[in-house]
Chains A and B, each alone.
Chain A
Amino acid sequence: MSARIGVVTFPGSLDDQDAARAVRIAGAESVSLWHGDADLKGVDAVVLPGGFSYGDYLRCGAIARFAPVMQTIIDAARGGMPVLGICNGFQVLCESHLLPGALIRNDVRKFVCRDQWLRVESANTAWTSDYDEGQEILIPLKNGEGGFVADQRTLDELEGEGRVVFRYLHDNPNGSYRDIAGITNDRGNVVGLMPHPEHAVEQLTGPSLDGLGFFSSVISQLVDA
């Protein structure tokens, strides 16, 4: 039986269909989850997609964090279920305190949309086990509020515990502290990043196929489990 991966749609989600498509291309079954429904429909993992949930009102991700579906996801994530937050999904994970730190407006004061090189800093998570540490990947980035910030102690802790999962290469697009593009929790089941792996899963529309590894990683973890 193939793994079942849920993709949440919030009001204002943009990339839920692309995320579901990436799940299917990688060989799993995608399951649509609705922000207003706390039922996770028995999925094995969850993707929080990019977009502008609740119009980015108040702060990006701040209102989504209290959606009924998030209460169940927060509990499941604490229990070890793999959760991937992409872009707005990363912001939701930080607002939910499943991941430390916060995302603020880009230091360049512009929305940045481009293909971005990243270095995989940790293959020791549910979503990156198919990559090699130090591998360089190219996937799209598109955000206005992608600057990752946290206090020095938290940053040192993330580095010390190997929880920085991705770093921006060549040119930091948004002022993220220590070039951090993505992080994980202490169990490695929750990963958040600003760039978009779901847009780099097929030759026709992406700059590479480098995003596929996120989905193949979690699928092989679920099959092994």
Chain B
Amino acid sequence: MARVVVDVMLKPEILDPQGQAVLGALTRLGHSDIASVRQGKRFEIVLDAAPDAATLDQIAGTLLANTVIEDYTIRVEES
């Protein structure tokens, strides 16, 4: 079996209100030294065998991420 992990993050120039809300809450909890928080998504996909890079790119770039506003990274973990 292969496990593929795709991390999706808003591009740096796109405002992240969720991250800002988390930062605000952390600050209220006393963590006054945090400069910024960005929130993203992590997808864990399990397959019989790891697909080729082009297929993974298609999966991530077509559905998992909207490349207008998001960047993604793909990591294949064989097990």
Which residues of A line the B interface, CB within 8 A?
Answer: 58-59, 62, 66, 94-95, 100-102, 104-109, 147, 149-151, 175
Residues of B within 8 A of A108 (CB): 17
Residues of B within 8 A of A104 (CB): 10, 14-15, 17, 69
Which residue of B has the minimal Cβ distance to A175? B15
CB–CB A102/B15 < 8 A: no
Report the interface size class on chain B.
10 to 19
User: Are A95 and B66 CB-contacts (below 8 A) given A109-B20, A109-B21?
Assistant: yes
Task: Render B53-79 as a binary contact track against A, CB cut-off 8 A, 1 for contact.
Answer: 000000000011010110000000000
CB–CB A58/B63 < 8 A: yes
CB–CB B15/A147 < 8 A: yes
Residues of B within 8 A of A58 (CB): 63-64
User: Are A149 and B17 CB-contacts (below 8 A) given A58-B63, A62-B63, A66-B63?
Assistant: no
B18 CB–A CB distance under 8 Å: yes
Which residue of A has the minimal Cβ distance to B15? A107
How many A-B pairs have beta carbons closer than 8 Å: the answer is 36
**How many whole Å from A156's CB to the nearest CB in chain B?**
15
22 contacts between A and B (CB under 8 A): A58-B64, A59-B66, A62-B66, A66-B63, A94-B68, A101-B68, A102-B68, A102-B69, A104-B10, A104-B15, A104-B17, A104-B69, A105-B18, A107-B15, A109-B17, A109-B18, A109-B20, A109-B21, A147-B15, A149-B68, A149-B69, A151-B13
Which residue of B has the minimal Cβ distance to A66? B63
CB–CB A102/B66 < 8 A: yes
**How many whole Å from A158's CB to the nearest CB in chain B?**
13
Residues of A within 8 A of B66 (CB): 59, 62, 95, 102
How many angstroms from the CA of A100 to the CA of B13 in the assembled complex?
A: 17
Which residues, 15 to 34 on B, are CB-close (under 8 Å) to A? 15, 17-18, 20-21
How many angstroms from the CA of A25 to the CA of B14 in the assembled complex?
A: 40
CB–CB B14/A149 < 8 A: yes
How many angstroms from the CA of A106 to the CA of B21 in the assembled complex?
A: 12
User: Are A150 and B20 CB-contacts (below 8 A) given A66-B63, A104-B14?
Assistant: no
How many angstroms from the CA of A58 to the CA of B43 in the assembled complex?
A: 10
Residues of A within 8 A of B69 (CB): 102, 104, 149
User: Are A106 and B17 CB-contacts (below 8 A) given A94-B68, A149-B69?
Assistant: yes
